[in-house]
Amino acid sequence: GPQICKTSSVQLVGHIAPGSTAMTPAFMVAPKAFLGGAPLQPLSVGDMRARATRMDAVVDGAPAQHRGITATTCMALSAAVAASFGSGRRRKTKTPCRTVFRALSAKTIEVVKATAPVVAPNASAITADFYPRLLNNNPAAWAFFNKTNQKKGLQQQALADAVVGFASNIDNLGVLEPVVNKMAHRHCALGVTPELYQLVHDTLMASIGEVLGDAVTPEIGGEWSNAVMALAEICITSEENLYKAAEGRAGGWRGYKDFTLVKKHRVGTDTVSFDFAAVDQPGAAIEFTPGQYLTIRCPDLKSEAPRHYTVTNKPGDSFLQCTTRHVHGSEDTPAGVVSSYMHTQLEEGDTVQLAPPFGVFTKANALANVGDVKFVTAGIGLTLAKSLSQPGGVKTAGLLHVDRSDNHTADMVKTINAGFVSTVYGKSRGEIMSAIKEYGAAASDSDTFILCGPVPFMRSAKDTLQEAGAQNIQYELFGTGSMK
């Protein structure tokens, strides 16, 4: 880990080529002091594991805050660092360097499962320590985190839930597949790379040590470290597959690239659609899946994390469109930094950066088994219904849309092809819930209701639909958090 790397010189040893059983003399590095100090020859996998075990014993004797960082993790970090230096000799290596992580062993599963009841009540405290530690020590990491969500504690709670969920289900990770899949899509939208997982691991282990103190024995710290890195390996593999899929689609690409705002058109009060065309392929069709979101970076807002907006045009168009509501803010809620910029300063001809569309709230993923869909939306949540009602989306049997007035989204409602459409504008909460209850009571048992809008609205709508007898209810949450 970092403590070892700071105090010891290192030597290039080798790396494991994917799918092979032998070491090749390339990018793996290991501290000389713990490997006997003599120059090393290429090692077999067995030799490397034996040496890693010796190094683990040394790390177990390190200060408490570093005990969770095992020697195998140290070698993985060093491999990533070494691979980042581009000497001509290394570039000639035909087999790419691959960071090596430990698989989940029976011992790791046993220890993490046994200690999960201790970690769970402290998960919020751990994540509250984690984010300031991560962001204060690595200011560049702000590029991945929404400052408003940080202030509200939404990201802290989301990470706490993820930690508890992983620890509680470490012996049955299949149940976490939907969560991991959703997380992988969001990471790809943000441009997360494998190297960042090491930083997260090290910071999380330090926070666990800080909060739990002496309860984190060398054994417990080591096994939790192994578990976190095993989860990282799962995420890295999943995300690489997603990057390749996005790159391989018609008009696809990897990471962020420049797009020009070719059309900015108002569709209602404080509601604007933005059409972006790729600078390098302005007329090329762009494929994606209805229900996915685009991710935008505005060059003039370098200190702000990117924002995610549902794609509201149809797949195959030569542009990507998002439709956003201008968040003015109030005494309790700050104005939306990016939405304000887009509505008041971004003009046609300006350049932004977009990541490919990602997201799992699609017919192929989260909605794979739904039949007829009836939407219940509020405000800008209508964009989800517009997206999913496009070709390749779901069978839209109905839409009930709520808004403060018909000035905001009424024109967009008219573009949605649904068997039944009802709107509730400027009504009281009681009147809105009465309309939703009537809407739910008229549905069949096979109908699926999809909710999208502000969280308090979705909570009330869900309760009301359940009272009306609705059995299948799903929701899409814009941003970080949950319906808790």
Positions annotated as catalytic residues are 197, 239
Non-local CB neighbours of 248 within 8 Å, separated by 6+ positions: none
Cα distances (angstroms) measured from residue 36 to each of 2, 40, 173, 195:
20, 9, 39, 28
- Asked whether the beta carbons of 429 and 450 are under 8 A apart, the reply is no
| 3-state SS, one letter per residue, for the chain | CHHHHHHCCEEECCEECCCCCEEECCCCEEEHHHCCCCCCCCCEHHHHHHHHHHHHHHHHCCCHHHCCCCHHHHHHHHHHHHHCCCCHHHHCCCCCCCCCCCCCCHHHHHHHHHHHHHHHHHHHHHHHHHHHHHHHHCHHHHHHCCHHHHHHCHHHHHHHHHHHHHHHCCCCHHHHHHHHHHHHHHHHHHCCCHHHHHHHHHHHHHHHHHHHHHHCCHHHHHHHHHHHHHHHHHHHHHHHHHHHHHHHCCCCCCCCEEEEEEEEEEEECCEEEEEEEECCCCCCCCCCCCCCEEEEECHHHCCCCCEEEEECCCCCCCCEEEEEECCCCCCCCCCCHHHHHHHHCCCCCCEEEEEEEECCCCCCCCCCCCCEEEEEEEHHHHHHHHHHCCCCCCEEEEEEEEECCHHHHHHHHCCCCCCCEEEEECCCHHHHHHHHHHHHHCCCCCCEEEEECCHHHHHHHHHHHHHCCCCEEEECCCCCCCCC
Both tokens of residue 431? 């009147």
- d(CA 112, CA 119) in angstroms, rounded, equals 9
